[in-house]
Structures are given as structure tokens and as C-alpha cells.
Structure 1
């Protein structure tokens, strides 16, 4: 009895030891972003959100597996947006959501540029199966790019 129990435990241990380790897909995407976008660095990860840093953005984060979304990019900058910020958000969106960079840059800049007197400070739009939410305050402007779980 004792030898069969130890043999079973040994077989169970060998099965778990031979199983491949599953890497976090969000961490893999963050590493890919850091390799391909100049100046982007991975800061830290907490609660399925990877915080990133870049000179063109005040805040930058990559979220995975939320209640309503599969993956999310959040970027925040000054109210007066610079071309470097548009390029950063377009490049990151293209890499994360696997869409052409031109389309990603067009969609994100269109959302960010729509904020103003006539349309208001909160813009929600869809572009190429991406949900874009742009918000601005007196000092900051931010964009959230999401793809839903069902897409």
C-alpha cells in the first residue's frame, strides 16, 4: 500500500513538473511593446494591469481580462497633445490589437481630436472593432482603447 501511494505521488509530481509553464499574455504583450517602441519601459504589474512609462505620456497602462473587455490600453497626457503622443498611442494600439498602424493612428487621433466645444469633453466611438473612449479635463487628456471579450 505504501509503495503504491509513493509511486502515485511520484507520478503526479512528474506530471506537474513536465507541464509547460503558462506565461501571462499581458506580460508578453508588454515586453513586445517595450522591445518595439523606443523609450517605452515596463514599470510594474498589479492586479492584471501592467504600468508602463514613456516620455510622451503622463500615464500609460495595459490591462488584461477585465469584466467587459479582453485587453485595454490607457494613455494620458497634457491637454495640449503633441504628435509624439499620437504616434505612441497609434503604435501601441497597432501592436496590441494587431491592426495596421495607419488605421490605429487614424482611429485614436480621430477620437482625441474630436474633443472640444462642439462635441464635449467625453467622446465614445468605435473604429475597426475597437472601442475608443477619450476624455479631457482642464489639464489632461486621456484615451482608453478596448476590444470586447466577444470580438
Structure 2
């Protein structure tokens, strides 16, 4: 089953660091090998807060560990420790439905759909459990490797 995963990572710039400093350190030098779109958002009420939103399209959830390993390698090779504060808020999920509210006027309700195809929430629940385990394992691996690196 196709899966669209979303990562929302919120970081705060350290005093004296700029958005350009962040972008230089954060920018990935290797792709994930699957369709991935990254959005970088600056909080209007706190310009030191940078929100990264990643949307990854997987043909199957089994592709996720490979992408997570690439992300671990990127963060270890290009650490942000001197750019952002220690507290980082990470949220991960999968897209349950895509809805287009562009048209003017009334919009009729529709079932859950991804790429125009109906989805059952129960199918998504199973995938969420699998993905959660993969993200937990990747976070533990990242933290262990970061500690080993010193």
C-alpha cells in the first residue's frame, strides 16, 4: 500500500545564529531515493523558530528504514548542535486524506482519499504502528551514533 509520510520538526535558532546559518548546516547533500518534498517555515511570531515539514511518498512502508538511515547519516555528517537550541520538537505521521479546498463555494464531503483513491482508516492504523516502531528504532540509532561520535 502506498504511504505518504510527514515529518514536522521544530527547532529554535541559538542566539546570534541566522536562518542562513541554519540552512547551510541543515541542507541535505544526499537524496532519499523516493519522492520527498521539504518545506522550511519561519514562525511569524518568533522568527528564530524554524519548522521543517517533510512529505515522503513510499510505494510500501518497507522503504522507510532506508530513508531514515539516510537522514541519520545526514544529521551526523552535518550536525545542527551549534546552530539550534537543544530542545527539538519532532512529530511524525502519515497522511490520512488529501482534501482540496481550492474551489470557491460549497464543497461536498468526500471519503478519505490519497492520490484520488479511497483509503480505509483501519489500513492506515496498521501502517502507523509499523512506522512508529521504525521511527523509534531510527531515533535510538541516531542517538547512539551521536553519542559514539562524541
Alignment TM class, shorter chain as reference: 0.3 to 0.5
For normalisation by structure 2, the TM-score amounts to 0.33
User: Highest CA radius of gyration, 1 or 2?
Assistant: 1
